């Protein structure tokens, strides 16, 4: 059972919003240009999931926060909606292509939810509701991806706990309009037989054409099991067809725990030879798996970034814009950057952005003066600290929870401001997303 | 006696995805201002001959247009432009009218009243007439203070800002409340796609000018204006150039909202195209080249063009029909029948 779901963690990715981003950004520009006297810049507003900390007597919530260090309201919560009476917080926010806001969740009672965003008569955005979605028993939602298969649109969600059990894990296939479950993709290791492809603790997700990749990360209780592979799913049949091990070094003695994956493909890099990149949370590595589009075969995986050699650990997210790919490393808390055009090779495009311990999710936006910024959420798990007698603490993770968002000049990496949510609000921060998405282009 | 509409402001809600809106600090949305604005909008006393109101050219059932190619006011003279649909103006806070000659909604609202060919009313006279009406005197006192031109403009603007169309089939689709038909969905996808022959991506190129959700023109400076190829160089009207003096703005007109577009024929700034089919035909192969033709139109084609002289989308009939089907999903029956936007002087 997932009795330990409360201690589960997640590391995940972000969604691509395509035309939605463009439309919303333009919409912002449109409205922002409207009234110089009283206009409010919203592109520097973030939606964040805040975790109430049991020793500090605070509640889980979703909040809208000003992230521009040039703003007099920097770090202020502009709107906050307390999570309904559900033990575990929501987990990760995603915008659908239609502009609907979703969140995965850690609590089995609400592993997937749609978030209501509205505006009051002053124009102020408000979080209006959290509607839990029926997952048909799938638990511990992680990443969401919208993808079309054979002309039909789907919403895919990885559930690291799946429908339960020691080797659980599923990919929920949802109708993107009605949020109804269309299919649950499962392939338990204990049931498929030796050497057969399986799905276990899926977390990262990415797709190209009719091939989808999911990672096998870690059991939600962080104790029962740890994965070391990725699984290929044939989207024509919604079936697992191949499992590929990505494991070499074991710097902390655990299996590699692949976490985020991204299918490098032509709509990310024109003319690219497709390949899959995989971050291994406990292997501290980034792997590349070549893909032959002609016969739909995957080649031998290889390490393209070695964290042990480079002094980094716990690589987590892939983010990107028109020119660069960014990878966050929770230890020591940095974001490395690479030339997008050179993918799937990782060719550095500049110095690391030095954030804080637990560097994880990020958003991209501009400051009031037009400076290009990145805000980095520095928290791996937000599970508190044993030194505070916090019952949710897990020792090996306590050192990767800065409970902060650091805001940096995107070009130079200079830290322009820090919001420590624990100090300021007695809460942890589980996730950050731009109010209008993050201005970010590539992910899944 | 006029009828107070259901509470508009108290029940206010607006789709988040429409984006931020900004309301003038000196004219906040209030129930009293809205009710006063609604009354003024439908009151023929706003015209010199007391026979024409704003609603004469902005009919709710037609999404606040009048069904004519070009509007006709008290003088009987056809105006240069058709009556623009009034919806979701809350998100379009400057550059009103087809040529953008009014910087704000407040400024805009007084111009038709004074135009000799539209309502031909003297503002001072109007203030005297309204101030003499005890009911209006109370209405203005509740909403603002005195009966004066500035407050007339504010009240009309508040009413127009509240004309929010947000319950069409497309809106319901965006909220996940329904699924579009296959044809509508094809049209939606074409609507938001810019064609790219190199990757076999077909598109209607609509969203390049008509934003995805509000479907109006983008408002970054003058980005919401476009020369969409209706006329050649010699026939280009001034358009935005009449306001800015910039020759690059010759022939550029405001990109209108497509909300309720199926109800607002005829189309274009001068109503020259009678049907949506004619509009699609124009963009498909009828675009006329001129020096200020929108570059987003110039480069948008679903087939490879090598001679550089032919401009158009080259969509097939099925695709054109699908886009029209999608445009019909923008019809908001609730909006065009909403009691709170209706004529308060009519007995129900």
Nearest CA in chain B to A271: B199
Does the pLDDT at position B166 exceed 90? yes
- At A86 the pLDDT is 85
Q: How far apart are CA A135 and CA B247, in angstroms?
A: 59
A192 to chain B, any CB pair closer than 8 A? The answer is no
- CB pair distance less than 8 Å for A118 and B29: no
Q: Which long-range contacts (CB under 8 A, 24 or more apart) does A148-152 make?
A: A149/A210, A149/A235, A149/A236, A150/A210, A150/A236
Count of structural domains within chain B: 2
Instruction: Tell whether B200 and B265 lie within a shared domain.
Output: yes
Q: What is the mean predicted confidence (pLDDT) over B5-33?
A: 84
Q: B11: exposed, middle or buried (C-beta count within 10 Å: 0-12, 13-18, 19+)?
A: exposed
Instruction: Tell whether B323 and B198 lie within a shared domain.
Output: yes
Which of the two residues, B117 and A384, has the higher pLDDT score?
B117
Question: Distance, in angstroms, between A11 CA and closest chain B CA?
Answer: 27
- In the predicted model, what is the mean pLDDT of chain B? 92
The model's confidence at residue B1, banded by pLDDT at 50, 70 and 90, is low
Among A27, A37, A119, select the one facing B14 at the smallest CB separation: A119
Among A32, A42, A99, select the one facing B17 at the smallest CB separation: A99
Q: What is the mean predicted confidence (pLDDT) over A9-28?
A: 31
The model's confidence at residue A18, banded by pLDDT at 50, 70 and 90, is very low
The model's confidence at residue A24, banded by pLDDT at 50, 70 and 90, is very low
Domain boundary at B165, B189, B217, which?
B165
**A227-261 pLDDT, tens digit each:** 999 999 999 999 999 999 999 989 989 999 999 99
B346 within some domain? no
Among B14, B25, B176, select the one facing A37 at the smallest CB separation: B25
Closest CA to A282 of A258, A309, A246: A258
The model's confidence at residue B310, banded by pLDDT at 50, 70 and 90, is confident
- At A21 the pLDDT is 35
B237 within some domain? yes
Among A20, A27, A266, select the one facing B19 at the smallest CB separation: A27
Q: What is the mean predicted confidence (pLDDT) over A417-434?
A: 93
B270 within some domain? yes
Q: What is the mean predicted confidence (pLDDT) over A66-92?
A: 93
Peptide bond preceding A332 in cis form (omega within 30 of 0): yes
Does the pLDDT at position B75 exceed 70? yes
Range of the domain at B39: 16-165
**A7-16 pLDDT, tens digit each:** 222 222 323 3
HSE at residue A7, side-chain half, CA atoms within 13 A, is 19
Instruction: Tell whether B28 and B148 lie within a shared domain.
Output: yes
Proportion of chain B above pLDDT 70, given as a percent: 95
Site of tokens 């990145």:
A374
Instruction: Tell whether B182 and B90 lie within a shared domain.
Output: no
A32 to chain B, any CB pair closer than 8 A? The answer is yes
User: Which residues neighbour A184 within 8 Å (Cβ) at sequence distance 6 or greater?
Assistant: A136, A138, A163, A170, A171, A172, A173
- CB pair distance less than 8 Å for B213 and A27: yes
Does the pLDDT at position A336 exceed 70? yes
Question: Residue B62 to residues A31, A157, B59, B77, B263: CA-CA distances in angstroms?
Answer: 26, 43, 5, 22, 5
**A94-115 pLDDT, tens digit each:** 999 888 999 999 899 999 999 9
The model's confidence at residue A386, banded by pLDDT at 50, 70 and 90, is low
Residue pair A431/A422 in contact by the 8 Å Cβ criterion = no
Question: Distance, in angstroms, between A157 CA and closest chain B CA?
Answer: 17
CATH number at residue B82: 1.10.760.10
- At A195 the pLDDT is 92
Among B9, B19, B22, select the one facing A35 at the smallest CB separation: B22
Instruction: Tell whether B117 and B189 lie within a shared domain.
Output: no
Does the pLDDT at position A346 exceed 70? yes
Instruction: Tell whether B157 and B220 lie within a shared domain.
Output: no
HSE at residue A146, side-chain half, CA atoms within 13 A, is 21
A177 to chain B, any CB pair closer than 8 A? The answer is yes
- CB pair distance less than 8 Å for A22 and B212: yes
Does the pLDDT at position B147 exceed 80? yes
Instruction: Tell whether B143 and B231 lie within a shared domain.
Output: no
A23 to chain B, any CB pair closer than 8 A? The answer is yes
Structural domains of chain A in order of their starting residue, each with its CATH number? 3-434 (2.130.10.10)
Which of the two residues, B173 and B200, has the higher pLDDT score?
B173
Instruction: Tell whether B75 and B37 lie within a shared domain.
Output: yes
Q: What 3-state DSSP class applies to A275?
A: strand
Q: B263: exposed, middle or buried (C-beta count within 10 Å: 0-12, 13-18, 19+)?
A: buried
B211 within some domain? yes
Enclosing H/E stretch for A192: helix A189-192
- At B197 the pLDDT is 83
- At A438 the pLDDT is 56
User: How many A×B Cβ pairs under 8 Å?
Assistant: 120
CA angle (A312, A316, A321) in 5-degree steps: 105
Does the pLDDT at position B250 exceed 60? yes
Helices B182-191, B317-328: crossing angle, 10 deg rounding: 90
Which of the two residues, A32 and B139, has the higher pLDDT score?
B139
Nearest CA in chain B to A21: B212
User: Which residues neighbour A312 within 8 Å (Cβ) at sequence distance 6 or greater?
Assistant: A284, A329, A331, A332, A334, A336
B11 within some domain? no
- Reduce the secondary structure of chain B to three states and give it as a string: CCCCCCCCCCCCCEEHHHCCCCCCCCCCCCHHHHHHHHHHHCCHHHCCCCCCCHHHHCEHHHCCECCCCCCECCCCCECCCCCCCCCCHHHCCCCECCCCCECCHHHHHHHHHHCCCCCCCCHHHHHHHHHCCHHHHHHHHHHCCCCCHHHHHHHHHHHHHCCCCCCCHHHHHHCCCCCCCHHHHHHHHHHCCCCEHHHCECCCCHHHCECCCCCCECCCCCCCEECCCCCCHHHCCCECHHHHCCHHHECEEECCCCCCHHHCCCECCCCCECCHHHHHHHHHHHCCCCCCCCHHHHCCCCCCCCCCCCCCCCCCHHHHHHHHHHHHCCCCHHHHHCHHHCCCCCCC
Residue pair B81/B75 in contact by the 8 Å Cβ criterion = no
Chain B residues with a Cβ under 8 Å from any Cβ in chain A: 9, 12-25, 28-29, 91-94, 173-176, 178-179, 192-193, 199, 207, 211-214, 218-221, 224
Residue pair B71/B78 in contact by the 8 Å Cβ criterion = yes
Instruction: Tell whether B77 and B129 lie within a shared domain.
Output: yes
Instruction: Tell whether B179 and B300 lie within a shared domain.
Output: yes
Q: Which residues of A touch B173 (CB under 8 A)?
A: 98, 177
Does the pLDDT at position A17 exceed 70? no
- At A52 the pLDDT is 86
Does the pLDDT at position A19 exceed 50? no
Q: How far apart are CA B84 and CA B261, in angstroms?
A: 11
Asked which of A356-365, A377-386, B253-262, B271-280 is least confident by mean pLDDT, the reply is A377-386
Proportion of chain A above pLDDT 70, given as a percent: 85
Instruction: Tell whether B26 and B59 lie within a shared domain.
Output: yes
- CB pair distance less than 8 Å for A22 and B15: no
The model's confidence at residue B93, banded by pLDDT at 50, 70 and 90, is low
Domain boundary at B128, B145, B165, which?
B165
B2 within some domain? no
- CB pair distance less than 8 Å for A177 and B179: yes
Q: How far apart are CA B216 and CA B213, in angstroms?
A: 8
Does the pLDDT at position B271 exceed 60? yes
Residue pair B170/B179 in contact by the 8 Å Cβ criterion = no
ipTM tops the 0.95 cut: no
Instruction: Tell whether B183 and B270 lie within a shared domain.
Output: yes
Which of the two residues, B3 and A265, has the higher pLDDT score?
A265
- At A6 the pLDDT is 27
Proportion of chain A above pLDDT 90, given as a percent: 71
Domain boundary at B165, B189, B216, which?
B165
Which of the two residues, A398 and A204, has the higher pLDDT score?
A204
The model's confidence at residue B327, banded by pLDDT at 50, 70 and 90, is very high
B6 within some domain? no
The model's confidence at residue A351, banded by pLDDT at 50, 70 and 90, is very high
Task: Choose, out of A24, A25, A26, the residue to mutate when testing the contact with B (most B CBs < 10 Å).
Answer: A26
B342 within some domain? no
CA angle (A9, A374, A284) in 5-degree steps: 40
pTM: 0.85
Q: What are phi and psi of B239, to 5 degrees?
A: 60, -135
The model's confidence at residue A2, banded by pLDDT at 50, 70 and 90, is very low
Compute chain A's Rg from CA coordinates: 20
Q: What is the mean predicted confidence (pLDDT) over A326-332?
A: 95
Does the pLDDT at position A390 exceed 60? no
Q: What is the mean predicted confidence (pLDDT) over A352-370?
A: 95
């Amino acid at each position: 059972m997932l009795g330990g779901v409360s201690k589960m963690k997640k590391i995940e990715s972000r969604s691509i919003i395509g035309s939605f981003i463009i439309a919303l950004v333009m919409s912002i520009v449109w409205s922002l240009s409207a009234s110089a006297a009283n206009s409010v810049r919203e592109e520097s507003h973030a939606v964040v999931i805040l975790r109430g900390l049991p020793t500090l007597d605070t509640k889980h919530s979703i909040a809208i926060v000003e992230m521009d260090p040039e703003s007099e309201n920097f770090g202020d919560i502009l709107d906050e909606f307390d999570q309904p009476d559900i033990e575990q917080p929501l987990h990760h926010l995603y915008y659908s292509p239609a502009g609907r806001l979703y969140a995965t969740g850690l609590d089995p009672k609400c592993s997937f939810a749609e978030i209501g965003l509205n505006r009051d008569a002053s124009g102020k955005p408000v979080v209006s509701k959290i509607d839990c979605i029926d997952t048909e028993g799938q638990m511990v939602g992680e990443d969401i991806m919208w993808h079309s298969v054979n002309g039909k649109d789907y919403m895919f969600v990885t559930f690291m706990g799946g429908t339960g059990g020691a080797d659980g894990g599923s990919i929920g296939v949802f109708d993107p309009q009605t949020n109804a479950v269309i299919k649950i993709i499962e392939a338990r290791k204990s049931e498929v037989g030796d050497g057969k492809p399986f799905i276990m603790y899926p977390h990262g997700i990415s797709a190209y054409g009719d091939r989808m990749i999911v990672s096998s990360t870690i059991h939600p209780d962080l104790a029962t099991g740890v994965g070391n592979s990725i699984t290929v799913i044939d989207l024509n049949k919604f079936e697992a067809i191949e499992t590929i091990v990505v494991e070499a070094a074991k710097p902390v003695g655990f299996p590699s725990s692949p976490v985020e994956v991204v299918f490098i493909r032509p709509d990310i890099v024109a003319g690219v030879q497709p390949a899959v990149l995989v971050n291994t949370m406990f292997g501290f590595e980034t792997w590349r798996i070549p893909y032959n589009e002609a016969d739909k075969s995957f080649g031998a995986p290889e390490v393209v970034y070695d964290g042990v050699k480079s002094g980094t650990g716990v690589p987590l997210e892939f983010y990107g814009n028109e020119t660069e790919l960014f990878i966050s490393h929770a230890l020591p808390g940095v974001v490395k950057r690479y030339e997008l055009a050179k993918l799937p090779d990782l060719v550095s495009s500049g110095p690391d952005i030095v954030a804080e311990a637990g560097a994880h999710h990020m958003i991209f936006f501009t400051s009031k003066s037009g400076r290009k910024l990145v805000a980095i959420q520095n928290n791996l798990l937000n599970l508190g600290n044993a030194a505070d007698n916090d019952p949710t603490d897990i020792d090996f993770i306590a050192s990767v929870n800065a409970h902060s968002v650091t805001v940096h000049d995107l070009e130079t990496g200079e830290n322009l401001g820090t919001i420590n949510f624990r100090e300021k609000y007695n809460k942890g921060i589980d996730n950050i997303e731009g109010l209008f998405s993050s201005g970010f282009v590539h992910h899944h | 006696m006029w009828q107070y509409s259901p509470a508009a402001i108290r029940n206010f809600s607006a789709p988040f995805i429409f984006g931020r809106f900004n309301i003038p600090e000196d004219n906040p949305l209030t129930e009293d201002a809205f009710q006063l604005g609604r009354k003024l909008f439908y009151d023929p006393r706003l015209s010199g001959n007391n026979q024409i109101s704003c609603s004469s050219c902005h009919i709710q059932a037609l999404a606040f247009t009048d069904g004519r190619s070009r509007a006709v006011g008290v003088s009987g003279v056809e105006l240069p432009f058709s009556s623009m649909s009034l919806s979701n103006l809350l998100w379009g806070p400057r550059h009103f009218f087809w040529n953008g000659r009014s910087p704000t909604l407040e400024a805009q609202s007084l111009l038709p009243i004074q135009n000799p060919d539209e309502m031909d009313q003297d503002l001072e006279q109007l203030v005297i007439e309204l101030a003499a009406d005890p009911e209006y005197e109370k209405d203005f006192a509740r909403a603002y203070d005195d009966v004066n031109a500035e407050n007339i403009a504010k009240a009309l603007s508040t009413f127009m800002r509240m004309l929010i169309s947000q319950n069409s089939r497309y809106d319901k689709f965006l909220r996940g409340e329904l699924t579009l038909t296959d044809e509508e969905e094809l049209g939606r996808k074409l609507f938001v796609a810019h064609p790219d022959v190199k990757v076999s991506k077909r598109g209607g190129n609509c969203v390049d000018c008509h934003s995805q959700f509000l479907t109006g023109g983008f408002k970054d400076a003058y980005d919401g204006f476009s020369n969409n190829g209706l006329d050649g160089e010699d026939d280009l009207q001034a358009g935005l150039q009449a306001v800015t003096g910039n020759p690059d703005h010759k022939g550029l007109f405001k990109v209108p909202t497509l909300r309720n577009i199926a109800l607002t024929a005829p189309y274009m700034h001068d109503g020259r195209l009678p049907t949506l089919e004619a509009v699609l035909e124009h963009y498909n192969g009828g675009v006329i080249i001129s020096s200020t033709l929108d570059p987003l139109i110039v480069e948008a084609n679903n087939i490879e063009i090598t001679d550089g002289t032919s401009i158009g989308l080259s969509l097939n009939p099925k695709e054109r029909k699908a886009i029209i089907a999608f445009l019909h999903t923008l019809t908001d029956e609730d909006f065009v029948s909403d009691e709170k936007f209706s004529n308060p002087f009519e007995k129900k």
